[in-house]
Amino acid sequence: MKNSRRHFLKNSASAAALSLAGPHAGALSQPTSSPLAYVKDGGMQLCLAHFYGMDKRRIELSKQLQVLNAVGGINARPLGITDAQPWEYKAIMAVKEAWAKEGLTFKVVEGPPALYEKTKLGLPGRDEEIDNFILFIRNLAKAGIDTICYNWMPVISWARTSLDLPSRGGALVSAFDIDNIKDNSLTTFGTFTKEVMWKNLEYFLKAVVPEAEKKGIKLALHPDDPPVDAIRGIPRIMISADAFKRMIELVPSPSNGITLCQGTFATMGEDIPSVINYFGKRGKIHFVHFRDVRGSRNHFEETFHDDGKTNMYEAMKTYYDIGFRGPMRPDHVPTMAGDSNEHPGYSNIGVLFAIGYMRGLLEAIARQHR
């Protein structure tokens, strides 16, 4: 054993001396091939959500993290633009330029204007809303922004029954328990059937997808969250992978795609790598919300990225393997010690953990596949 160890140390010392002697000292310094360069984040376009104005701390953290893509809405009023609707070019450019001045690229519009109850419920005035949405598509394309994340949840959108559930180490998370919905009354809009909701979605897609395709805009439909059958008489239809398969076939187009919100698909009970593989291979994933949960559609809570039920490594690897290189952001992070729960799910400290976790996965995967 001692002789073997001496032999190993002797050879190691020789190799070290050879490597220090200079580039022409011997064959060990002449690699036979050069590995492909590692592409940061595996080529993914990591983003942060900026839903609560131009928060200086979040902007500085974005730059320190080198996550330089911003996701948000169109609100030009704080910028002094009061004579333009949010779907008009003047408002869009004002918002884009404001982010550019901060050193960030406005990448995805999440929560687009001109898409409200009239369109989703098929009420009088929907054609005017849709015309404004088409104008929005044209002006986004003109401004050089190509992705719209939208949803089909009228009246009651994102819903939780708790916004401060204690989680790991006392961090606060949001949760949903259908048994704890306190108000089960109908809304002022009354009741609708799922088929009516599907017909309204088809009407919308047939009107806007051709223009989106012509202008190179990606429409990314977000699943209903929570993915329950109905809340207060309003049906929710985007509550399964099969529903999204049906949706993309309503108006087949490269522009008609999805926001793959992992947490929502996980609460549906779907296998996340399988969902990514199915829609990714068809070029239908336009935007990703990378998050995780524990529980099922009627009873669930948000988690840290390393503490949920999804195999997050396999999920990220599947995105990489199917060639997705589009915008991706962490979503619904826990509120951690020292941060405010004023905006549940969007803690600045929580997002630091999330980005570090995501970037670590991406580097491990990308370096293994060079």
Instruction: Kindly report, residue by residue over 82-102, the tens digit of the pLDDT.
Output: 999 999 999 999 999 999 999
Residue 8 has pLDDT above 80, yes or no: no
CA geometry: angle at 226 spanning 333 and 171, to 5°?
25
Q: Residue 151 in contact with residue 289, Cβ under 8 Å?
A: no
Q: What is the pTM of this model?
A: 0.90
Percent of the chain with pLDDT over 90: 89
* Closest to 300 (Cα-Cα) out of 276, 253, 258, 332: 332
How far is C-alpha 318 from the chain's CA centre? 15
Mean pLDDT confidence for 66-73: 98
Q: What angle do CA 219, 248, 229 make, to 5 degrees?
A: 95
Token pair in block for residue 365: 């995967």
Asked whether the predicted pLDDT for residue 14 surpasses 90, the reply is no
- Banded model confidence at residue 175, pLDDT cuts 50, 70, 90: very high
Whether the link from the prior residue into 86 is cis, omega within 30° of 0, is no
How large is the average pLDDT for residues 32-50?
Answer: 83
Question: How much is the pLDDT for 37?
Answer: 75
